[in-house]
């Protein structure tokens, strides 16, 4: 029965996919619509939508993935920012102020995000240049501006999506500009604050645990002592470096392709347009955007995004290590390492009563794994810049933005629901440390490596202590052992 239901569901999905073209057009007969045109002809467009024929045609041609695969909201908002900037600069170069001001006001509605849900339906999986999404924005701003001016939606009068909204622009320079704007905003406003919160929490734990001496581990095996604070200081430093890495990649992100138009030559723009637009975008965002010094690189390559995601991948690697360490140190409560007591946030098992799991660590490591997977997609996409244009741009930006969002949300959640509530299990830490055979390392300067090794191996074989075997072997006295094997003296250089 279950198999039959699943089979029917699959058949329906195939049937629906096959009818997608019909659904997108013929269903208009069941609702109000208007006729809009592009260079391919007429199309019916829902009368309550600001988008036009090219957006409608893209929905017909690319029914891939559904709503979860839509062009990311930050990209659409960034397109609104650059369209507003271009309209204001074009006014300086002679565009009718009435049209420019209407475009600018309509762009504000795109920037605010309030039009995203209803008027930007296109998915990532479209033309690799992002042309349909550029036209989606052009059409929405055009029709909204027409509405503001009292005109008729779809008339392209008095505001034309290409001639006015897209004036002095090409999809080939607007979409990479939107990529850089959206990524710069997300790095500065989302990821950096989240990493800072996590860094500060780890630093606070490092300070809190600075006097707790524990055994270290290398190769997952017993090693010499360090403090729990020292161990956590390493985690805090990883996050400090994460912030440094973000700052180091940002200068390339602040370089904008706008003004390069189709292939980087700047055809159909005015001298100074690129520089003025970058300055206007910097003013609108509060970030130090500049025009790219070489528009050919800015259009043909996505190296800056590959660099950004390399930073994100490094942060994911750091977080994977930190989260794994914390969950292993908190393993137990009775049969694991048990050096840390992690916050208990929810029941851990549907069958084992009372079980609580390190779920925040598990969530964080899954986030890290997903970011590492996204790294592959961004690398492949970035490497496919053929001749004058990279045509994997929607793929690249969607993965970069998804990684930023995952790392940002994951870091905040991990901080609030795990790191801030971590406690040290002092009794367990002391017990494990005092049982460790690697405290014998302190004897190396006094009796030599070979004799110290024999003490450790003999104690391990016999199940005795280091002190018992050291005295039995005649290598030192009880007083000497007490003087030389002191964990508190093994925490740094002499």
pLDDT confidence bin for 11, thresholds 50/70/90: very low
pLDDT of residue 157 exceeding 60: yes
With residue 27 as reference, give the H or E element that holds it.
Answer: none
- Could you give the domains of the chain? 34-167 (1.10.275.10), 173-346+353-426 (1.20.200.10), 437-489 (1.10.40.30)
CB-based contacts of 298: which residues, under 8 Å, 6+ apart?
A: 173, 176, 255, 256, 257, 260, 264, 292
With residue 216 as reference, give the H or E element that holds it.
Answer: strand 213-218
Average pLDDT, stretch 286-304? Answer: 98
CB-based contacts of 100: which residues, under 8 Å, 6+ apart?
A: 87, 88, 90, 91
Residue 106 burial by CB count (10 A; 0-12/13-18/19+): exposed, middle or buried?
buried
User: Would you state the pLDDT for residue 494?
Assistant: 83
pLDDT of residue 17 exceeding 60: no
Residues in the chain: 494
Q: Which member of 9, 10, 112, 349 is catalytic? A: 349
d(CA 76, CA 62): 18
pLDDT confidence bin for 397, thresholds 50/70/90: very high
CB-based contacts of 155: which residues, under 8 Å, 6+ apart?
A: 146
**Structure tokens, 474:** 């005649």
First to last CA, the chain: 74
pLDDT confidence bin for 1, thresholds 50/70/90: very low
User: Would you state the pLDDT for residue 2?
Assistant: 52
Average pLDDT, stretch 296-305? Answer: 98
User: How does pLDDT run across 95-131, given as a tens digit for each residue?
Assistant: 999 999 999 999 999 999 999 999 999 999 999 999 9
User: If you compute the radius of gyration of the chain from its CA atoms, what whole number of angstroms results?
Assistant: 31
Report cis status (omega within 30 of 0) of the bond before 91: no
Task: Give percent above pLDDT 70 in the chain.
Answer: 94
pLDDT confidence bin for 26, thresholds 50/70/90: very low
Other residues' Cβ atoms within 10 Å of the Cβ of residue 27? 13
**Contact by Cβ (8 Å): 447, 437:** no
User: Would you state the pLDDT for residue 4?
Assistant: 53
Q: Is 286 left (phi over 0), alpha (psi -120 to 50) or beta?
A: left
Task: Give percent above pLDDT 90 in the chain.
Answer: 93
- pTM of this structure: 0.94
Give DSSP secondary structure letters for 361-428: HHHHHHHHHHHHHHHHHHHHHHT-EETTEES-HHHHHHHHHHHHHHHHHHHHHHHHHTGGG-EE-HHH
Average pLDDT, stretch 24-31? Answer: 51
Kindly report the average pLDDT of the chain as a whole number: 94
Cα 205–208–211 angle (5° rounding)?
125
Active site residue 164: no
Active site residue 309: no
**Structure tokens, 31:** 């609702």
Other residues' Cβ atoms within 10 Å of the Cβ of residue 289? 27
CB-based contacts of 13: which residues, under 8 Å, 6+ apart?
A: none
């Amino acid at each position: 029965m279950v198999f039959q239901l699943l089979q029917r569901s699959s058949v329906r999905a195939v049937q629906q996919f096959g009818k997608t073209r019909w659904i997108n057009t013929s269903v208009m007969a069941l609702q109000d619509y208007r006729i809009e045109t592009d260079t391919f002809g007429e199309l019916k467009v829902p009368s309550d939508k600001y988008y036009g024929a090219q957006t409608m045609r893209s929905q017909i041609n690319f029914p891939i993935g559904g709503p979860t695969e839509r062009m990311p909201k930050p990209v659409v908002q960034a397109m609104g920012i650059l369209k507003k900037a271009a309209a204001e600069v074009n006014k300086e170069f002679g565009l009718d102020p009435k049209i420019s001001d209407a475009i600018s006001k309509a762009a504000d509605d795109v920037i605010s995000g309030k039009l995203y849900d209803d008027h930007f339906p296109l998915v990532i999986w479209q033309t690799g240049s992002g042309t349909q999404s550029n036209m989606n924005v052009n059409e929405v701003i055009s029709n909204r501006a027409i509405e503001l001016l009292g005109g008729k939606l779809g008339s392209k009068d008095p505001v034309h999506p290409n001639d006015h909204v897209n004036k002095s622009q090409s999809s080939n320079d607007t979409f990479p500009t939107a990529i850089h704007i959206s990524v710069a905003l997300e790095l500065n406003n989302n990821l950096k604050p989240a990493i800072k919160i996590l860094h500060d929490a780890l630093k606070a734990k490092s300070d809190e645990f600075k006097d707790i001496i524990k055994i270290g581990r290398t190769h997952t095996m017993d090693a010499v002592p360090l403090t729990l604070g020292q161990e956590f200081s390493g985690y805090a430093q990883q996050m400090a470096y994460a912030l440094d890495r973000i700052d180091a990649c940002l200068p390339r992100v602040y370089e904008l392709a706008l003004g390069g138009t189709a292939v980087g030559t700047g055809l159909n723009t005015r001298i100074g347009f690129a520089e003025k637009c970058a300055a206007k975008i910097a003013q609108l965002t509060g970030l130090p955007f500049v025009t790219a010094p070489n528009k050919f690189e800015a259009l043909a390559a996505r190296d800056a995004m590959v660099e950004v995601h390399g930073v994100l991948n490094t942060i994911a690697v750091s977080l994977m290590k930190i989260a794994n360490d914390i969950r292993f140190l908190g393993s137990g409560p009775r049969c694991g390492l048990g050096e840390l007591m992690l916050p208990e946030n929810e029941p851990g098992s549907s069958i084992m009563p009372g079980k609580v799991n390190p779920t925040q660590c598990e969530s964080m490591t899954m986030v890290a794994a997903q970011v590492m997977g996204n790294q592959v997609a961004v690398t492949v996409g970035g490497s496919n810049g053929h001749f004058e244009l990279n045509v994997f741009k929607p793929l690249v930006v969607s993965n970069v933005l998804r990684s930023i969002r995952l790392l940002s949300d994951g870091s905040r959640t991990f901080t609030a629901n795990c790191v801030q509530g971590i406690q040290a299990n002092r009794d367990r830490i002391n017990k494990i440390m005092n049982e460790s055979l690697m405290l014998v390392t302190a004897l190396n300067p006094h009796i030599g490596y070979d004799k110290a090794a024999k003490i450790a191996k003999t104690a391990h074989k016999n199940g005795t202590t280091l002190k018992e075997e050291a005295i039995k072997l005649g290598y030192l006295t009880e007083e000497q052992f007490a003087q030389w094997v002191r964990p508190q003296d093994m925490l740094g250089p002499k």
